[in-house]
Amino acid sequence: MEKDKLIKTFDEEISSGISAIQNVEINTDAYGKAVDNIAVLTEKTIKLKELEVKQMQLEMEKSRHDEELRIERMRAEAEIDKQQAETKSRKWDKWIDRGIKILEIGVPVVTVIWGTHYTFKYESEGYMPTTLLGKGFVNKLLPKK
Given a cut of 90, is residue 54 above it in pLDDT?
Answer: yes
Please tell me the pTM assigned to this model: 0.46
Rounded to 5 degrees, what angle do the CA atoms 106, 109, 114 make? 120
At residue 73, the pLDDT reads 95
State how far the Cα of 25 lies from the Cα of 27, in Å rounded to an integer.
Answer: 6
Q: Are 34 and 24 in contact (CB under 8 A)?
A: yes
At residue 56, the pLDDT reads 92
Q: Are 1 and 7 in contact (CB under 8 A)?
A: no
Given a cut of 80, is residue 70 above it in pLDDT?
Answer: yes
Can you tell me the mean pLDDT for 53-57?
A: 92
In this predicted model, which residue has the larger pLDDT, 85 or 54?
A: 54
